[in-house]
A and B are shown apart, each in its own frame.
Chain A
């Protein structure tokens, strides 16, 4: 008899049992000490749960952000729409998101990063890596006086030329000051072969003028 009505105790305490069951339970509470003890224990634990539940519910409600339920259906719709998109539509949706006010900063960041990468790539492509040991040796052969430690000025000039040779032409020109440029050009002029030497021809002023714009 007790076992039959024990599972109904929680519902009885909450007032959720039919009247016929409530009558039987009340009889047992009045007549059966064991059942009465079960009832008291159950009522006590349910009171504690009830009190704690109020605090728990209030804490959980505080954790719900403002307007959460007002925006919930929109969030669900967005997720459903995202799942139904074709790959092409996803790309366009991504681009559209970038053009929205919130995404503009991301777009600016992506553009800036792409520009930096392009500039770096361009710079790497235009770097002159032809600084072979043979070039340096050839220069030393061209200026044997440069080995003479007693002539430091000339050694410095040759070192400048060697240094400049490591850069692409436009950089090397800009890396020399006026005085060094004149000195290097004069030296080169002295050392350059002339028309009398055979294979090389010195360009006339008119030739230089016509070629320079093209170069």
Chain B
């Protein structure tokens, strides 16, 4: 497999070989970028839109990319920032997606009890994650799901490893508190 640095160098030379090198980089990181966006966004369409924007930004900025830095960290940072910007823009446009406002009857009634319980758990956890503050949520997603090292996340977000560890721990505590609260309500 051609190293990222070589592909970036080819891209910087320009021409059709440069574009081919860029396509190779897209193929290499498209799934990772998509899932970073998708886990923080509510729909595939939103994640698709944001993931495409990420690669367009990468294309526009790759000529000035410092090859000493990790390409992977750089592209993740763009993905996280694009996703956060998208969420902020969505919040401004509407408080909740229309799908959430329409309480369509689900097919839960036909599911076995176990499935219903799992579905209920999933819904509760999703709600709990959604209530996390923006930074905690990003740290939680990148560490828990993408299993990135604290050092990588720190480079992406420009914060200290100690601060990130605290953010990660508090994210779990907030989820725990939310679940306790919801169980009391039931």
Contact = CB atoms under 8 A, between A and B. Distances in A.
A189 interface: no
A60 B126 CA distance: 12
Contacts, number: 84
B160 interface: no
Interface string A71-85: 011011101100100
B76 interface: no
Interface string A101-124: 000000000000000000000000
Given A52-B125, A56-B125, A79-B56, A63 B43 contact: yes
Interface string B136-174: 000000001101000000000000001001101100100
A10 interface: yes
Given A45-B175, A49-B175, A73-B30, A9 B121 contact: no
A91 interface: no
Nearest to A38: B173
Contacts of B165: 7-8, 11
B67 interface: no
Q: Which of B26, B39, B119, B124 lies at the interface centre, i.e. has the most chain A CB atoms within 10 A of its CB?
A: B26
A41 B176 contact: yes
B55 to A, nearest CB: 5
Contacts of B30: 69, 72-73
B125 A48 contact: yes
B27 interface: yes
A52 B126 contact: yes
Nearest to B174: A45
B51 interface: yes
Contacts of B131: none
Q: Which of A11, A51, A65, A73 lies at the interface centre, i.e. has the most chain B CB atoms within 10 A of its CB?
A: A73
A60 B27 CA distance: 20
A127 interface: no
* Chain A residues touching B, majority SS: helix
A44 B34 CA distance: 30
Q: Which of A6, A7, A42, A83 lies at the interface centre, i.e. has the most chain B CB atoms within 10 A of its CB?
A: A7
Contacts of A73: 23, 26-27, 30
Interface in B1-38: 19, 23, 26-27, 30-31, 34, 38
Contacts of B44: 60, 63-65
A79 B31 CA distance: 18
A45 B179 CA distance: 9
A59 B44 CA distance: 11
Contacts of B52: 72, 75-76, 79
Nearest to B27: A73
Contact of A53 (B26, B125, B172): B125
18 contacts: A7-B165, A8-B165, A10-B169, A11-B168, A42-B176, A45-B179, A48-B125, A49-B175, A52-B125, A56-B122, A60-B39, A63-B44, A65-B44, A68-B48, A73-B30, A76-B52, A79-B52, A83-B56
**A-B pairs, 8 with minimum CB distance:** A52-B125, A7-B165, A7-B169, A45-B176, A55-B122, A73-B26, A52-B122, A63-B44
